[in-house]
Every structure is written in structure tokens, then in C-alpha cells.
A and B are shown apart, each in its own frame.
Chain A
Amino acid sequence: MPIRALPKAPPSLHILGPTVFLVALGVGMGESYMWPRLVLVFGPDIRWLFMVGVTLQAFVLLEMARYAMATGESIFFGAARVFKPLMWFFYVAAILIYIWPGHLSAGAAAFEEITGIPWQATACVALVFVGVLFSMLSVIYNFLEKLLGLLIGFLVVGTSIIAAIVGSWDDLAQTISGMFAFGFLPDKALSEAWFPILVGSIAFAGPSGMQQMWYTLQLRDSGAGMGAHIPKIRGLRSADEAESMPSRGYMFDTENPEELQKWKGWRKWVTFDALLLFWGITMLVTISFTVLAMSAARENPDVAGLIEGGDREAALKAMSDAFASAGSPILGTLFFAFIALIGLNATLGLFDSFSRGQADMTYYFIPGAKRFSMSRLYAGFLWGVITFGILILLFGPADGPAGILDILAFLSTFAMGAYCIVLLLVNNKLLPKPIRPGPIRNVIIGFGAVFYLGMLFYSLVRFGVVVG
């Protein structure tokens, strides 16, 4: 790779960073529904597994950032450098997993509860709105970072207030102490009915599927590390102003002590992101939602049955009703407003991330694609997924055909184990020695690969079920 200067890192104390995308994608149904459900079924002590899952994801974030900040390349490019079929696996898996608009349903259904507008109509309008908005923007990253930052700030403030109004000391104490009940695993959790659900919930603790891989693209567009030397993706309206992408990333002089000092500054910067923004906010939101689920179940015993039963929409409605009847009628509506907000965050983040990832791999690895700019490819994938999404919302199954749901769930969890292996390879084989990860980091990421793939295949072999 050509050598260029590494820009100086900003102070580690900052509020916004590319991690807002990961938080927007990561704080979703896992935090607001799946884990509160497990707490009601197995008790708060089951939350230690969530703690392990999110902590592992924080280390994955740091290692994803290592490669992206050192080279300005995405992790997909890194995978292709190691073994090109790996990159093609991620290319195909992303299309299969993320082209279905099912992720819109929970947020749009919550909006329907508040307004009465049918969720399909809201979802279709939201899809077109996202497409037009992203096409009109000059630099997409800058706007989205600010918008998602504001929305997530509002979500954190709002869920804290609702949990403070309806929760109790005991709920919170149990929720927090459960995070440290390491090793708690009741027999029921290992049953055919619940183990696949547990595996799915662990995979959904924080960002799931390929969301961490997309983070490397957002990190690059934020100008972090050597990403400063790579042009930004522009909206379709300003695509003509986009500069051409270099054919590869850049490396800084790792023999130069000054450059290494700057590198340490960048690592400090991204560590702040991983610990406070990613780990902290994900934990806070899920603690708030768990407290909400526990207090709703206390108010109305039927809620516990509905949540345990697994009908997500009925359970969320019952939780909302429980809050409304607890002496604060507005809280039920507020609860739905925050579920809708989570859906909006996820939609904005997911459409941007998917289009970014596919455009990156297409631009660099599909022959002839370079004659279109990266910004035009981004717009192509964005409008492609929007058009397909609207057609499916109107005429097909939103989550994907029932026959392939298991395959999609398998691919999503498999991708997480696979990217841990890719991380070990790219960071240890492609980066110069002074900036490679230490042995402890490697062991943790290696554990991640065994953790995700081991649970996935155990579930498959033992019960014949992928993940729930």
C-alpha cells in the first residue's frame, strides 16, 4: 500500500462519532424485546450472557476499527486480500439477509398503534422518504451522524424517564446484579424450545449479522485514521462532485515514532467510542427496557404470558397497556413512540450501511463497475433495496419467504463467526507488526469465532434448529 501521513487524532473526549451508526443498528429488537423476554422467562440472572455478548461486540468494534483506521479500507476489502471467496460470501449473504423489509415492521406497527395509520403505508412512505433524503444530501455521512446522534440522545433520555416513572428499585437491582451472575444457565435454557432462541438473542445482543463490518465504511467516511485520505460518498444529486476513489487504501509509516504516537491517539479515540458510546448506551437502553418489561409483568400478569409466548406485537401492546393502566396513561403511548423511534433509527442506519457495503465491494471487485462512481453505485443499491422493499411490502412476505427464514437466520449468525476469523487474519497478516493486535485481543476475537459458530452448530446438530 502507498504510504501517506496519518492525520492527528482528535481528543478522545467527544460526543458524536461513527459509533452512532452501530448504536442505531444495534439498539433494536434484541434490546427492547428479546432480552426482556428472556429475563421474564429465566429471571434476571440470564443477563450475564447479554453482558458477554455486548462486551465481545465492543472488542470486535475495536478490532474492526484497527484495520479500517490503519488502511482506509473496509473489512470487505481486507477479506478479499486474504481470500477473495470470503468477500463474495459476505456480498451474497448481505443481499440475502438484508434485502427483506421485515425490520421496518415493528417500528411501523408501533406507529400504527399511536396514529392508526396502517403499518404498510407508513413503511412504504418511510422507504421513499429515506431514498429521497439520502439522494438529496451532499455528504450523506455528515447528515446521518448528526440525525442519528440526536435521535439516539432522545431515545436514551426518553427511556430513562419512562423507566424512572414506572420501574422500581428492586427491578433495577435485579437487572444489574443479573449481569454478573456468570455461569447461570437453567436446564430449561438448554432445551430444544429455548436454546435456539437463546443463541439468536446472544447474536442480537448489540449489532448483529454484518452490521459491525459496515461500521468500517462509516469509520472511513468519518475521516478516522487513514480514512481521511479516502473521498466521501455523496448523495445522487451531488454525485458529479464526488472524487474518484483510489484503487486501494493507504498505510502510514509505522517505523516513525511520531506516526505511531498519532496512531495511539486514534486508538484512544475509538476506545472511547467502544466503551462509552457503544457499550454504555447499549447497556443503558437494554437495562431500561428490561426494567419496563419487569414492571409491566408485575402490573399485569397476562403480559408475562404474552411475552413468554413469543408474539412480539401482542407482547409490546400488552406492555404498553400495562404502563397506561399504571396511573400514567401517557406512558403506554410513549412506549410505542420509542419502539417506533428504534425502528426509524434502524431503518436509516440499515439502508445506508447496506448500500455502502454493497457499493464498496461492487466498485472494487466487479469488473467494469469503476466506470460508475462509488456515489452512483451507492444510489443504485439504495434505490434497488427500496424498490424491492416496497414490492415485497405490498405483495410478499416482509421477512422473506418462510422456506428460507432458517437459512437467513443461519447466514446472519454464521457471518458473525466468519468476520471474527477474517479479523484475526487481516489484522495479523496484513498489518505491519507494530500495529497488530496483542495476544489477549486475539484470544478474545478467537473466542468470539468459537462462541458464535459453536453455538450455531451445536443448536443445528443437537436440535436441528438454527436460531430463534
Chain B
Amino acid sequence: MTVTDSAKVRQLAEFSVPAASVGIAAGLVAGGLAAFVGRPIGWALVTGLGLAIPLALFGAGYAVLLALGRIPAGVFAPAAVYWAIGFPLALLAHSVVTEWTVAGTPGLPAEPWKFLAFRALLSMGFAIGFIWMHEQLGRHWWPRILDHNLYARWVVAQYVELADSLAERKAATDRHRSKRRERTA
């Protein structure tokens, strides 16, 4: 079966939903809380989107690399390297948008290299949280699209070793239970 380029793009986008959701959630919480505490809706929306869109795009980028087999599933080091670049850039975009909203013109933060380096260091925390939440959301989303999405099928296959091992553990428990039931019967 050959898959057309547009179908591939569609499948990649579908596969990337959990990763993009983590970024969107971060932005929505920021924007939603701003609205909740009585800030103007426009201000809240711009601030939220200023953070959500870059993080969602970088999140989707991570998922695409995962789907194409460029980085292994569930391994922390590649995610840490990826976000050491993506996290500072996303916050730079957020800073530019915030400056734009407050001052009326977009502008870079003072000492942009220091700004980026500091966020690169903090990115490790974000990377752990991201990979953690990505797998939590993915384990609910990927099984739904497994039948028609090649990338989801391929990534889920990478988790098979873990699933096998867990199944074996469960089987050991079940065997023990049934033996005990037989004894008590």
C-alpha cells in the first residue's frame, strides 16, 4: 500500500495531537487564568496564544521526529536536547509577543543570548514534564488511530517490549491467583 504525501502529512498531524496538546495546555492555562482574574479577554488571549502556539509547534516537531524514527520512544536524552533548543525559542517568541502587547511594538528582551541560555538550562525540567505528559496522553490517543495511522502503529510497536514484560508480570499474578482459587475450592 502506498501512502500519498498529503496522507502522510495528515497522519503525522494526527499522530502529533498529544505532543501539541501539552503546549496548547500550557498556553491555555496561562490565558485562561488571565481571563479568570479579570484581565481583558484580548490580553489573556494574546498572552496565552503567544506561549501556546510556539510550544505546540515545537511539541508537534518532536512528535514528527519520533514518528519518523529519528528519535527513540520514551528516551529522555533526545527529548532533553530537543527542548534545550525549542523551549528557549518558544519563550523568546512569547517575550516578543508580550512586548508587542504591552509596548505596541515587538522587541527582543535585553541580553538575548543570556535570555536564551537561562531558558535552555531550565528546559530540562520542561523536557521531563513534557515527555511524561506526552506518554500519558499518547497512551489514550494512539490506540484510537492505530488502525489507519502507520506512524502510531510504528511508535506503539516500540513500546511492545514494555507491554510484553508487563503482560508477563500480570500472567504470573493470574497464575498464582488461579492456583490459590483451586486450592481453596
- Does the CB pair B94–A243 fall under 8 Å? no
Within 8 A of B (CB), among A229-255: 229, 231, 243
Whole-angstrom CA separation of A333 from B47 in the bound complex:
14
Q: Given A149-B136, A284-B124, A329-B34, verify A8-B169 contact (CB < 8 Å).
A: yes
- Does the CB pair A276–B125 fall under 8 Å? no
- Does the CB pair A329–B39 fall under 8 Å? yes
**Does A402 lie at the interface of the complex (its beta carbon under 8 Å from any beta carbon of B)?**
no
- Does the CB pair B136–A146 fall under 8 Å? yes
**Does A136 lie at the interface of the complex (its beta carbon under 8 Å from any beta carbon of B)?**
no
Give how many A residues have a beta carbon under 8 Å from the other chain's beta carbons.
53
Q: Which of B47, B118, B130, B177 contacts A157 (CB 8 A)?
A: B130
Interface of B is mostly: helix
**Does A93 lie at the interface of the complex (its beta carbon under 8 Å from any beta carbon of B)?**
no
- Does the CB pair A13–B74 fall under 8 Å? yes
- Does the CB pair B33–A161 fall under 8 Å? no
- Does the CB pair A11–B29 fall under 8 Å? no
- Does the CB pair A5–B122 fall under 8 Å? no
Q: Given A8-B169, A327-B98, A330-B39, verify A160-B118 contact (CB < 8 Å).
A: no
- Could you tell me the distance in whole angstroms from the C-beta of B104 to the nearest C-beta in chain A? 14
Within 8 A of A (CB), among B84-134: 87, 91, 94, 98, 102, 114, 117-119, 121-126, 128-133
- Does the CB pair A228–B169 fall under 8 Å? yes
**Does B1 lie at the interface of the complex (its beta carbon under 8 Å from any beta carbon of A)?**
no
- Does the CB pair A327–B119 fall under 8 Å? no
- Could you tell me the distance in whole angstroms from the C-beta of B136 to the nearest C-beta in chain A? 5
Chain B residues contacting A176 (CB-CB under 8 Å) are 121
- Does the CB pair B76–A276 fall under 8 Å? yes
**Does A158 lie at the interface of the complex (its beta carbon under 8 Å from any beta carbon of B)?**
yes
Inter-chain CB contacts under 8 Å: number: 146
- Could you tell me the distance in whole angstroms from the C-beta of A39 to the nearest C-beta in chain B? 17
**Does B20 lie at the interface of the complex (its beta carbon under 8 Å from any beta carbon of A)?**
no
Q: Beta-carbon contacts of A94-109 to B below 8 Å, as 1s and 0s?
A: 0000000000000000
Q: Beta-carbon contacts of A152-168 to B below 8 Å, as 1s and 0s?
A: 11111111110111011
- Does the CB pair A5–B172 fall under 8 Å? yes
Q: Please indicate which of the listed interface residues B25, B31, B118, B130 has the most CB atoms of chain A within 10 Å of its own CB.
A: B118
**Does A172 lie at the interface of the complex (its beta carbon under 8 Å from any beta carbon of B)?**
yes
* Stretch in B5-13, B146-154, B159-167 with 4+ CB within 8 Å of A: B159-167
- Does the CB pair A164–B129 fall under 8 Å? no
Q: Given A154-B129, A165-B91, verify A160-B29 contact (CB < 8 Å).
A: no
- Does the CB pair A156–B126 fall under 8 Å? yes
- Could you tell me the distance in whole angstroms from the C-beta of B88 to the nearest C-beta in chain A? 8
Closest chain A residue, CB of each to CB of B123: A160
Whole-angstrom CA separation of A9 from B172 in the bound complex:
12
Closest chain B residue, CB of each to CB of A265: B165
A–B pairs, 8, beta carbons within 8 Å: A11-B165, A167-B118, A228-B173, A228-B176, A243-B177, A287-B125, A330-B30, A337-B33
- Which 3 pairs of residues, A with B, have the shortest CB-CB distance? A156-B129, A157-B129, A153-B132
Given contacts A114-B36, A172-B118, A328-B47, 17 further A-B contacts (CB under 8 A): A14-B162, A15-B136, A114-B33, A146-B136, A152-B132, A156-B126, A156-B132, A157-B26, A160-B122, A160-B126, A165-B91, A169-B121, A231-B177, A280-B128, A327-B102, A330-B33, A333-B34
A-side interface residues toward B, CB under 8 Å? 4-5, 7-11, 13-16, 114, 146, 149-150, 152-161, 163-165, 167-169, 172, 176, 223, 228-229, 231, 243, 276, 280-281, 284-285, 287-288, 291, 327-330, 333-334, 337
